[in-house]
Structure 1
């Protein structure tokens, strides 16, 4: 679907929407302010100075233009004899958060940064996440630097390549440039990358990113090429933007996936860690998916992997949108699995199936410690294992608690995000009762259907009496009513 920007003007509906979003925060117990003790720790804490100095390496960051909580910086160089060396620097949050302190306790309570339409609620105080620990340009920072070698096909040691295993170590770094997705894509598309560290970084990122996507295909990994729906706010009010990720975003994501897979392998080899897991879809779910996509006229041919099939789906078409909507239901049950022997002697068994099914490999979260609690454990565990040291006592003793903390925070984040989006969508349609809109039918089951209105960007359910709507087809729907306070939308087939 094309990118759409639809505004809610700052009049009466906007006021009702603000009240509805505030009520959501209150119902979820969301508090922006940090306890004074936690804030004091964030301002005063100083990470240890590492022996390794990599300030002469031309690291760059690549994020949305407005971001200041910069978790990752990367540097890519060609290996002598072919292949690449990836250096991926991750913000040294463990160096700022003292185990057992007030900031640690508050971070465990929050679990992750919440992104809501009326503003984010950070995991750590902004003085830390957007300041002292963020990998801002031209600032000296301590970081966990991953070094991962790739062969000429983009394969790492855990892919079976004849290169050195990945490692991570603390180092002093300095990012030389803050790049953003839109400008980076325009630069690459224009062919005017120029020279210097930033230009070289983007050129090599494209090359490595494409190679890693090929590796993903080879191992049977799957990426859903679905448009993202973002709730944005500016002086005109709120809007929903529906867009497909830029290619440079996909290449950048491959570096994070590469690092997460390296971490998963290090943890499994070391016998301790926290994996991000997801089961493969069962036979019943797969059979149902086969039937649904065959009815859409886009059957899954025999002999090709699931991920390869998804890459062949025509994005931006009604049938393609319905297929991807159905595919999203296949991979569910993502969880965290802690394993190893704690300092208390408790034995946590590794999962029987350690793979993350969509990635088709063992995987761990270690690249976003400013915004996600579990990454702090993953970083210190992998760094200790690579150095041949014992895992810090605070990390091993609390290992079994982290999955539960992440499940709780992820559940809250998902619920709040969904309910906030419902209210934004209701606000977009509140004053348009009786109007008709073009839509795409994503799913039609029983007596109802799920449709995606083209403009404004709203997704909602509609009664499908008599089976007039079919998945993967265009439709015309009429707004009956929309209630901002509850996020309830009533549509009818026009």
Structure 2
């Protein structure tokens, strides 16, 4: 999207961020000891599906592997998707030390210098992770899909599985470009494109703002735009489809936990249309907001402006508890359908119990009362941990931005205004050469290409501030 010049920051103590949020990488000794002795409580009833050549697709270096897939075409032009999810409930003793600590944490927190795991690493990156070549307990989803990649039959049961390869997004993309995809995912690009088309038809809304990431570079740290390949999008459609199928099962049974988001507010859509008109970006009246955003040219500064305003469409994310009755809101507005989290139980607590609901419903059995009781606590636990995760991410980025830029106060930079100033706030600018999004005093208008001066870069307060002087123009270099 942008041609980013990487700047190496000095050493940064992210331990200060851990202290600020009371994070501890290590689990209590009792949790670690319990994790080392963990066994599969459901081993006797598992179907042996180690014959399936499943593969995992994760960021490079990941060890907490929740999901593995196998996708094949059928003779009638459809697909059969097998999706194995680590069976964490089977190896965590209810009421035990690991269980108690994971309830306190809620989810895995990610910082640039390492994660703060939901479960002891002995489980999350060891005996419960779907590492290649290792038999593992899993909840195995099987989905028969038609030629449009829409589900016609869905089952989920406990199984023993074995991944045959650990792949990463960049490698999958390179293989797709070269026509050498692993046989287990040779159909993934077509599947992904069909599911993306279905998402647009549902009115799904995908935001494509620059995603800042802090990464190690030698002895220091860098800021960069998080690379996203088509392979990321294809793979995400597998998880999205599974979550949608899980939500349907839960709604039919009136038991479970949905991830909900109200549909886009009409006033927010109207505001976005007004902005598009002011920027001279065509938006035909008959085109839904999701399709409009999906069709924008990522290389244009006007797209940055529109994407920066689009989050106003997606406010009010929550969790919907189903326990014998249905909540008023069943859909996830950004997905355009009901949706549930079930695909990341190593990293997200609620998935452990949501998966148990699906296993029971899929088997035609009642959902155990213990699971229903655990689900009742999940909205509060997950909402609190989601809030902490967001704050941790923003704090790490703010700290890195301020540290990277501290020696350059007074320097000038080319920038794009993504939000103009008003009476309550400064403008927001994106400085692509430094991969920074920060406030800017002065009054440049939305989408304007401007030259700004770095006024403040303070690692202590983690504040970055630019200033705009009317009449300055971007460099032509």
Q: Aligned equivalents of 2:81 and 2:210: distance in 1? A: 29
1:436-494: per-residue Cα shift (whole Å, max 9, x none)?
A: 01111111131521001011111100112xx3x11112111111221101111121115
Normalised by the length of structure 2, the TM-score is 0.94
SS of structure 1 residue aligned to 2:89: helix
Pick one of 12, 23, 36 that aligns with 2:16.
23
Q: Aligned equivalents of 2:174 and 2:76: distance in 1? A: 31
Matched, 1:199 2:182: yes
Does the Cα contact within 8 Å between 2:72 and 2:186 map onto a contact in 1?
no
Name the residue aligned to 1:409: 385
Does the Cα contact within 8 Å between 1:225 and 1:244 map onto a contact in 2?
no
Matched, 1:472 2:472: no
Pick one of 413, 435, 438 that aligns with 1:460.
438
Matched, 1:256 2:231: no
Matched, 1:331 2:314: yes
**Pairwise CA distance, 1:356:** 0.1
Select between 215-224 and 124-133 the one with higher mean Cα deviation. 215-224
Q: 5 Å matches for 1:64-463?
A: 64-156=59-151, 163-164=152-153, 166-191=154-179, 193=180, 199-341=182-324, 349-447=325-423, 448-463=426-441
Cα 1:176–1:3 shift into 2, 3 Å:
farther
Runs of 5+ consecutive residues of structure 2 not aligned to the other structure = 470-477
What RMSD in Å do the two structures reach over aligned CA positions? Answer: 1.5
**Pairwise CA distance, 1:172:** 0.6
Matched, 1:37 2:24: no
**Pairwise CA distance, 1:83:** 0.5
Select between 393-402 and 373-382 the one with higher mean Cα deviation. 393-402
Does the Cα contact within 8 Å between 1:439 and 1:474 map onto a contact in 2?
yes
Q: Aligned equivalents of 1:372 and 1:260: distance in 2? A: 14
SS of structure 1 residue aligned to 2:293: helix
Cα 1:128–1:7 shift into 2, 3 Å:
farther
**Pairwise CA distance, 1:154:** 1.1
Q: Aligned equivalents of 1:461 and 1:490: distance in 2? A: 5
Select between 209-218 and 388-397 the one with higher mean Cα deviation. 388-397
Select between 93-102 and 225-234 the one with higher mean Cα deviation. 225-234
Does the Cα contact within 8 Å between 1:438 and 1:474 map onto a contact in 2?
yes
Q: Aligned equivalents of 2:129 and 2:217: distance in 1? A: 25
Normalised by the length of structure 1, the TM-score is 0.91
Task: After the TM superposition, list the runs of 4 or more consecutive aligned residues in structure 1 that deviate by more than 4 angstroms.
Answer: none
1:174-221: per-residue Cα shift (whole Å, max 9, x none)?
A: 101111111111111122x1xxxx622332111111111111112111
Matched, 1:4 2:4: yes
Q: Aligned equivalents of 2:117 and 2:217: distance in 1? A: 20
Does the Cα contact within 8 Å between 2:301 and 2:416 map onto a contact in 1?
yes
Runs of 5+ consecutive residues of structure 1 not aligned to the other structure = 157-162, 342-348
Q: Aligned equivalents of 1:4 and 1:145: distance in 2? A: 41
